[in-house]
Structure 1
Amino acid sequence: MKPVISKPRHAIMVMILVLTLFSFGKAAAQDKNQVVRIAKLQIDPAQLENYKAALKEHAETAVRVEPGVITLYAVAEKNNPTHITVFEIYANAEAYQAHLQTAHFKKYKSTTKDMVKSLELVDVEPIALETKMKQ
Protein backbone atom coordinates (compact mmCIF):
# COMPACT_ATOMS: atom_id res chain seq x y z
CA MET A 1 0.00 0.00 0.00
CA LYS A 2 1.40 3.40 -0.98
CA PRO A 3 1.70 6.07 1.69
CA VAL A 4 -0.58 9.06 1.19
CA ILE A 5 1.10 12.45 1.17
CA SER A 6 -1.39 15.15 1.84
CA LYS A 7 0.87 18.07 1.08
CA PRO A 8 2.61 18.00 -2.33
CA ARG A 9 5.00 20.74 -1.24
CA HIS A 10 6.15 18.62 1.69
CA ALA A 11 6.90 15.76 -0.70
CA ILE A 12 8.91 18.07 -2.94
CA MET A 13 10.89 19.40 0.02
CA VAL A 14 11.70 15.87 1.16
CA MET A 15 12.76 14.93 -2.36
CA ILE A 16 15.02 17.97 -2.61
CA LEU A 17 16.68 17.15 0.67
CA VAL A 18 17.20 13.56 -0.46
CA LEU A 19 18.83 14.82 -3.66
CA THR A 20 21.08 16.98 -1.54
CA LEU A 21 22.24 13.93 0.35
CA PHE A 22 23.76 12.50 -2.81
CA SER A 23 25.95 15.41 -3.82
CA PHE A 24 26.65 17.68 -0.89
CA GLY A 25 29.68 17.15 1.34
CA LYS A 26 29.29 16.67 5.10
CA ALA A 27 31.87 19.26 6.08
CA ALA A 28 30.35 21.93 3.85
CA ALA A 29 26.87 21.16 5.14
CA GLN A 30 27.92 22.12 8.65
CA ASP A 31 29.10 25.64 7.73
CA LYS A 32 26.96 28.09 9.70
CA ASN A 33 27.73 30.95 7.28
CA GLN A 34 25.96 29.34 4.35
CA VAL A 35 22.83 30.85 2.84
CA VAL A 36 20.23 28.13 2.29
CA ARG A 37 16.92 28.91 0.67
CA ILE A 38 14.05 27.43 -1.25
CA ALA A 39 12.44 29.21 -4.19
CA LYS A 40 8.85 28.19 -4.96
CA LEU A 41 7.69 29.24 -8.41
CA GLN A 42 4.56 28.92 -10.50
CA ILE A 43 5.20 29.06 -14.22
CA ASP A 44 2.87 30.03 -17.06
CA PRO A 45 1.90 26.66 -18.59
CA ALA A 46 2.37 28.01 -22.12
CA GLN A 47 5.96 28.93 -21.25
CA LEU A 48 6.94 25.86 -19.20
CA GLU A 49 9.40 24.28 -21.62
CA ASN A 50 11.11 27.62 -22.30
CA TYR A 51 11.29 28.30 -18.57
CA LYS A 52 12.81 24.89 -17.83
CA ALA A 53 15.46 25.42 -20.50
CA ALA A 54 16.37 28.86 -19.12
CA LEU A 55 16.52 27.57 -15.55
CA LYS A 56 18.67 24.59 -16.52
CA GLU A 57 21.11 26.83 -18.41
CA HIS A 58 21.29 29.25 -15.50
CA ALA A 59 21.81 26.57 -12.82
CA GLU A 60 24.49 24.73 -14.81
CA THR A 61 26.39 27.96 -15.44
CA ALA A 62 26.13 29.18 -11.83
CA VAL A 63 27.41 25.92 -10.36
CA ARG A 64 30.19 25.67 -12.94
CA VAL A 65 31.57 29.22 -12.76
CA GLU A 66 30.71 30.55 -9.29
CA PRO A 67 32.79 29.09 -6.47
CA GLY A 68 30.27 30.36 -3.91
CA VAL A 69 27.33 28.50 -5.46
CA ILE A 70 27.33 25.15 -3.68
CA THR A 71 24.00 23.66 -4.79
CA LEU A 72 21.17 24.56 -7.16
CA TYR A 73 18.57 21.79 -7.47
CA ALA A 74 15.40 22.41 -9.44
CA VAL A 75 12.43 20.05 -9.49
CA ALA A 76 8.86 20.12 -10.80
CA GLU A 77 5.89 18.54 -9.09
CA LYS A 78 4.83 15.42 -11.01
CA ASN A 79 1.12 16.18 -10.68
CA ASN A 80 1.53 19.91 -11.29
CA PRO A 81 4.62 20.49 -13.46
CA THR A 82 4.17 24.27 -13.52
CA HIS A 83 5.06 24.28 -9.80
CA ILE A 84 8.85 24.44 -9.64
CA THR A 85 10.93 24.28 -6.46
CA VAL A 86 14.60 25.28 -6.39
CA PHE A 87 16.83 24.35 -3.44
CA GLU A 88 19.83 26.69 -3.22
CA ILE A 89 22.96 26.67 -1.05
CA TYR A 90 25.54 29.45 -1.20
CA ALA A 91 28.87 29.52 0.65
CA ASN A 92 27.88 32.71 2.49
CA ALA A 93 25.87 35.92 2.16
CA GLU A 94 28.59 37.52 0.01
CA ALA A 95 28.46 34.61 -2.44
CA TYR A 96 24.68 34.94 -2.66
CA GLN A 97 24.89 38.69 -3.30
CA ALA A 98 27.62 38.14 -5.90
CA HIS A 99 25.41 35.53 -7.59
CA LEU A 100 22.62 38.09 -7.98
CA GLN A 101 25.01 40.38 -9.87
CA THR A 102 26.29 37.84 -12.42
CA ALA A 103 25.50 38.16 -16.10
CA HIS A 104 23.97 34.68 -16.23
CA PHE A 105 21.60 35.41 -13.30
CA LYS A 106 20.52 38.71 -14.87
CA LYS A 107 19.97 36.92 -18.20
CA TYR A 108 17.86 34.26 -16.45
CA LYS A 109 15.75 36.90 -14.67
CA SER A 110 15.15 38.96 -17.80
CA THR A 111 14.45 35.90 -19.96
CA THR A 112 11.96 34.42 -17.50
CA LYS A 113 10.26 37.55 -16.10
CA ASP A 114 7.08 37.01 -18.15
CA MET A 115 7.10 33.23 -17.57
CA VAL A 116 6.96 33.34 -13.77
CA LYS A 117 3.45 33.82 -12.40
CA SER A 118 4.57 33.77 -8.76
CA LEU A 119 7.76 33.48 -6.75
CA GLU A 120 8.19 32.82 -3.03
CA LEU A 121 11.67 32.80 -1.49
CA VAL A 122 11.99 30.94 1.79
CA ASP A 123 15.17 31.15 3.85
CA VAL A 124 15.69 27.87 5.68
CA GLU A 125 18.08 26.55 8.28
CA PRO A 126 19.66 23.18 7.60
CA ILE A 127 19.14 20.50 10.20
CA ALA A 128 20.93 17.58 8.56
CA LEU A 129 22.57 17.63 5.15
CA GLU A 130 24.57 14.43 5.09
CA THR A 131 25.84 12.65 2.01
CA LYS A 132 27.75 9.69 0.80
CA MET A 133 30.25 10.73 -1.86
CA LYS A 134 30.33 8.67 -5.06
CA GLN A 135 33.26 6.27 -5.13
Structure 2
Amino acid sequence: MHALDVLGDPVRRRILELIADGDVPSGAVAEAITAEFGISQPAVSQHLRVLREHGFATVRPQGARRLYSVAPDGVREASEWLTPFQRFWAGPLAALETELARGRRERRRPSPPPAHEEQP
Protein backbone atom coordinates (compact mmCIF):
# COMPACT_ATOMS: atom_id res chain seq x y z
CA MET A 1 0.00 0.00 0.00
CA HIS A 2 1.38 3.42 -0.94
CA ALA A 3 1.82 6.00 1.82
CA LEU A 4 -0.91 8.18 0.33
CA ASP A 5 -3.28 5.20 0.26
CA VAL A 6 -2.72 4.87 3.99
CA LEU A 7 -3.40 8.58 4.46
CA GLY A 8 -6.42 8.49 2.16
CA ASP A 9 -8.61 7.20 4.96
CA PRO A 10 -9.98 9.94 7.24
CA VAL A 11 -9.94 7.65 10.28
CA ARG A 12 -6.23 6.93 9.86
CA ARG A 13 -5.48 10.62 9.31
CA ARG A 14 -7.35 11.45 12.53
CA ILE A 15 -5.48 8.74 14.43
CA LEU A 16 -2.19 10.28 13.28
CA GLU A 17 -3.37 13.66 14.52
CA LEU A 18 -4.21 12.13 17.89
CA ILE A 19 -0.83 10.43 18.28
CA ALA A 20 1.29 13.22 16.79
CA ASP A 21 2.57 14.28 20.21
CA GLY A 22 3.42 10.68 21.06
CA ASP A 23 2.66 8.07 23.67
CA VAL A 24 -1.12 7.93 23.49
CA PRO A 25 -2.74 4.83 24.97
CA SER A 26 -4.63 2.69 22.48
CA GLY A 27 -7.74 2.95 24.66
CA ALA A 28 -7.71 6.75 24.38
CA VAL A 29 -7.30 6.51 20.61
CA ALA A 30 -10.16 4.00 20.36
CA GLU A 31 -12.40 6.13 22.58
CA ALA A 32 -11.82 9.29 20.53
CA ILE A 33 -12.20 7.57 17.15
CA THR A 34 -15.31 5.67 18.23
CA ALA A 35 -16.89 8.93 19.41
CA GLU A 36 -15.95 10.85 16.25
CA PHE A 37 -16.57 8.20 13.59
CA GLY A 38 -18.95 5.77 15.26
CA ILE A 39 -16.81 2.73 14.52
CA SER A 40 -16.10 -0.18 16.85
CA GLN A 41 -12.94 -0.71 18.90
CA PRO A 42 -11.91 -3.67 16.70
CA ALA A 43 -12.20 -1.43 13.62
CA VAL A 44 -9.96 1.15 15.32
CA SER A 45 -7.49 -1.63 16.07
CA GLN A 46 -7.44 -2.54 12.38
CA HIS A 47 -6.62 1.06 11.45
CA LEU A 48 -3.85 1.13 14.05
CA ARG A 49 -2.47 -2.10 12.59
CA VAL A 50 -2.41 -0.59 9.07
CA LEU A 51 -0.57 2.45 10.42
CA ARG A 52 1.99 0.23 12.18
CA GLU A 53 2.52 -2.10 9.23
CA HIS A 54 3.12 0.78 6.83
CA GLY A 55 5.54 2.69 9.02
CA PHE A 56 3.26 5.49 10.20
CA ALA A 57 2.92 4.46 13.84
CA THR A 58 4.94 2.75 16.51
CA VAL A 59 3.61 0.99 19.55
CA ARG A 60 5.32 0.19 22.81
CA PRO A 61 3.92 -1.66 25.76
CA GLN A 62 3.75 -0.01 29.16
CA GLY A 63 2.36 -2.46 31.64
CA ALA A 64 -1.06 -3.49 30.35
CA ARG A 65 -1.29 -0.47 28.04
CA ARG A 66 -0.06 -0.02 24.49
CA LEU A 67 1.23 3.46 23.72
CA TYR A 68 1.15 4.76 20.16
CA SER A 69 3.18 7.50 18.52
CA VAL A 70 3.90 8.65 14.97
CA ALA A 71 6.78 6.91 13.22
CA PRO A 72 8.77 9.05 10.80
CA ASP A 73 9.16 6.53 7.95
CA GLY A 74 5.64 6.62 6.55
CA VAL A 75 5.34 10.36 6.97
CA ARG A 76 8.69 10.82 5.21
CA GLU A 77 7.56 8.63 2.30
CA ALA A 78 4.40 10.69 1.87
CA SER A 79 6.38 13.92 2.11
CA GLU A 80 8.92 12.77 -0.47
CA TRP A 81 6.14 11.85 -2.88
CA LEU A 82 4.52 15.28 -2.41
CA THR A 83 7.76 17.29 -2.76
CA PRO A 84 7.54 17.77 -6.57
CA PHE A 85 4.07 19.26 -6.10
CA GLN A 86 5.04 21.84 -3.47
CA ARG A 87 5.39 24.47 -6.17
CA PHE A 88 1.61 24.47 -6.49
CA TRP A 89 1.06 25.64 -2.95
CA ALA A 90 4.35 27.25 -1.86
CA GLY A 91 3.70 30.51 -3.73
CA PRO A 92 0.09 30.90 -2.61
CA LEU A 93 1.06 30.14 0.99
CA ALA A 94 3.84 32.74 0.86
CA ALA A 95 1.35 35.28 -0.52
CA LEU A 96 -1.09 34.39 2.25
CA GLU A 97 1.63 34.94 4.87
CA THR A 98 2.36 38.36 3.35
CA GLU A 99 -1.31 39.32 3.55
CA LEU A 100 -1.61 38.05 7.11
CA ALA A 101 1.46 40.07 8.13
CA ARG A 102 0.01 43.15 6.44
CA GLY A 103 -3.22 42.69 8.40
CA ARG A 104 -1.31 42.33 11.68
CA ARG A 105 0.60 45.55 10.96
CA GLU A 106 -2.63 47.39 10.17
CA ARG A 107 -4.21 46.27 13.46
CA ARG A 108 -1.16 47.47 15.44
CA ARG A 109 -1.22 50.96 13.94
CA PRO A 110 -3.01 53.44 16.13
CA SER A 111 -6.14 54.69 14.49
CA PRO A 112 -6.29 58.42 13.81
CA PRO A 113 -8.35 60.44 16.26
CA PRO A 114 -11.89 61.06 15.10
CA ALA A 115 -12.47 64.34 13.30
CA HIS A 116 -14.47 66.73 15.42
CA GLU A 117 -17.54 68.06 13.74
CA GLU A 118 -18.48 71.58 14.58
CA GLN A 119 -21.93 72.01 16.02
CA PRO A 120 -23.97 74.88 14.45
TM-score, L = length of structure 1: 0.24
Bigger relative contact order (CA 8 A; separation at least 6): 1
Q: State which structure, 1 or 2, has the greater radius of gyration over its C-alpha atoms.
A: 2
Is the helix fraction higher in 1 or 2?
Answer: 2
TM-score with structure 2 length normalisation? 0.26
